[in-house]
Chains A and B, each alone.
Chain A
């Protein structure tokens, strides 16, 4: 009891201290999925964030960094609770992470209301790019529509005339299918949304796609669902009959499970592990060194960028994070070396960036890796930026 009292008063004193004094450390809250079947994504993001901290000697602007990792359990309501906890009881300076658009949409209001800067390192629902854009929300990934839009361009190049779209029924799934439809010039002969995340059997949807006899099928299935989709696509006999075009369905995390099934299936991405810039070479090489047996994915690359973005803002404001406008201006400059080469924010805090065509190949050691085939679009801006009226 006495010890508890002592600890409590010490904590009180400690809490009272920094309020007046200069910031003593940088506190970052990190939300991702660390449990369940998609934990591999969260782990990749955490690994990359830790690697970024290692690269900066775990200091930002000379101040030590403290990171609090929280698991959203793949559920919007849990993500929101954890966000509130990070803001209200941990009083973090920044929140980073968010894989899932629906989790981010549920959580972002807390960040905006409390004027806590939130850097989404994956989720990119159209709301944050358009009407609900905020000075406190930044993205080191993309707006959901951008990647499938690039795929739509590529499908035009390949002369695809009719397409069938399949994706999960949640915020990102609808954005993705909308994105590909906005640039694809051919006819969309059918569209299927499946229950997310628990529908894992796509036989009914694949049978419908087969019956429509389209030139191509476009799918968006992130995480494990992508593995399931590809194996069912092969089993249904569609492989070799109707070509598949993807966004976020094949990545370094799913490839070890998809193996041969992924070969020859193109995807669009803003980052590929072989992009020829120094920051990226260092990131990929050190990641493989630090985490033997693992390879970084785009989720990790975006999170590595997010850590460097935060560090650049802390350095620019000399650790004075109470001046929110100054922090916002510093973040907007994006003064850091991105692993995807050049990096610039649009007015709505979404990056303006290139999108590449990537393809899975087998390297000389028999490992499955992704490689850049071509640049599909350059300096691409999302299509919601003009709806953003940032106050």
Chain B
């Protein structure tokens, strides 16, 4: 039972982390109608900034804060310099240009930080397990990821649903031309939204950095999952991204944890051990395929354009 609780927490933590990444992606896609493959590069930059600033300041929390601000600025700069030229063009152009950005950022990181990668060591108060229930110890750091992500999710909810800026964002998602015509500075709004998306990606990257390592191309694999979540949740819907991310996190973690035992009922030990990792990583895509058949717009489609 304690194992099951621990696996559920692992699933929740992974899901929330994916949510941060997918939220930025879905915001940018939903509001700006922009396919941004370079979202993973911002995730990578967040991790590199955090590792660098943490080494400079000697404080993990301070480094993380600075990294967040730096990713926000980079995101806004990318929007002003590159993305602005892509609005209104074909999605294929977006894919091509942002793929170019991935190559650009990978090479830039190689030039600045070298090919070897970095590590972001945790302060000792985060690097230990804490007792959350009698007999259940859980990594303090993973627990803090859960708390931070939930806080950010709540913040996003309030921002989008309860503030004037959020109202404009929602209006932008449903009809861009109209809010432009109503005198809203759409350019500024877009820069802000893109910066916000970048900061969310950066936050995901810097939080993942101590668990994984900081390395070139670290955002590319996880971006695929973020896209899957966007599709499952409904493009442009933050609520959809949240639900889908938690689903994907649970399916991935619990699949890895229990699929081998499940397969062992039907196959030999050897076959089960070999096939289970491959099959369990397929489960997410299976879910996506089913959702696409049943609800092609995703679980929570953003209001129609």
Which one, B213, B221, B273, B276, contacts A227 given CB within 8 A?
A: B213
- Which of A194, A195, A201, A205 is the most central at the interface, judged by chain B CB atoms within 10 Å of its CB? A201
Question: Contact mask B269-282 → A, CB, 8 Å, 1/0?
Answer: 00001101110010
Q: Mark B3-41, 1 if CB is under 8 A from A, else 0.
A: 100110010011000000000000000000000000000
Q: Tell whether A169 pairs with B211 under 8 Å between CB atoms, given A204-B256, A211-B3.
A: no
Q: Mark A294-327, 1 if CB is under 8 A from B, else 0.
A: 0000000000000000000000000000000000
Beta-carbon contact of A169 and B213 below 8 Å? no
Instruction: Say whether A201 contacts B274, CB under 8 Å.
Output: no
Across the interface, A235 reaches (CB within 8 A) one of B211, B276, B277, namely: B211
Number of B residues whose C-beta is below 8 Å from A?
Answer: 41
B115 touches A204 (CB 8 A): no
Of chain B, the residue at the smallest CB distance from A194 is B277
A224 touches B10 (CB 8 A): no
A237 at interface (Cβ–Cβ under 8 A)?
A: yes
Contact B278 A195 (CB under 8 A): yes
B141 at the interface (CB under 8 A from A): yes
* Residues in B whose Cβ lies below 8 Å from that of A192: 260, 273
CA distance A83 to B194 in the complex (A): 44
Residues of A near B273 (CB, < 8 A) are 191-193
A228 near B253 with CB under 8 A, answer no
Give complex CA distance A19, B118 in Å: 49
Give the size of the chain A interface in residues (CB under 8 angstroms).
37
Interface residues of B in 202-258 (CB under 8 A from A): 210-213, 215-218, 221, 253-254, 256-257
Bound together, the chains give a CA A213 to CA B217 distance in angstroms of 36
Cα distance, A40 to B218, chains bound together (Å): 15
Tell me which residues across on chain A come within 8 A of B217, comparing CB atoms: 36-37
Residue A257 lies at the interface, judged by CB distance under 8 Å to chain B: yes
Q: In the complex the two chains form, is B128's CB within 8 Å of A237's CB?
A: yes
Write 15 A-B pairs (CB below 8 A) sorted by A numbering: A36-B216, A37-B215, A169-B274, A193-B277, A195-B278, A199-B256, A199-B277, A203-B13, A224-B117, A227-B119, A235-B127, A236-B129, A253-B116, A257-B116, A257-B119
Contacts from A to B (Cβ < 8 Å): 36-37, 39-40, 43, 169, 174, 191-195, 198-201, 203-205, 207-208, 210-211, 224, 227-228, 231-232, 234-237, 253, 256-259
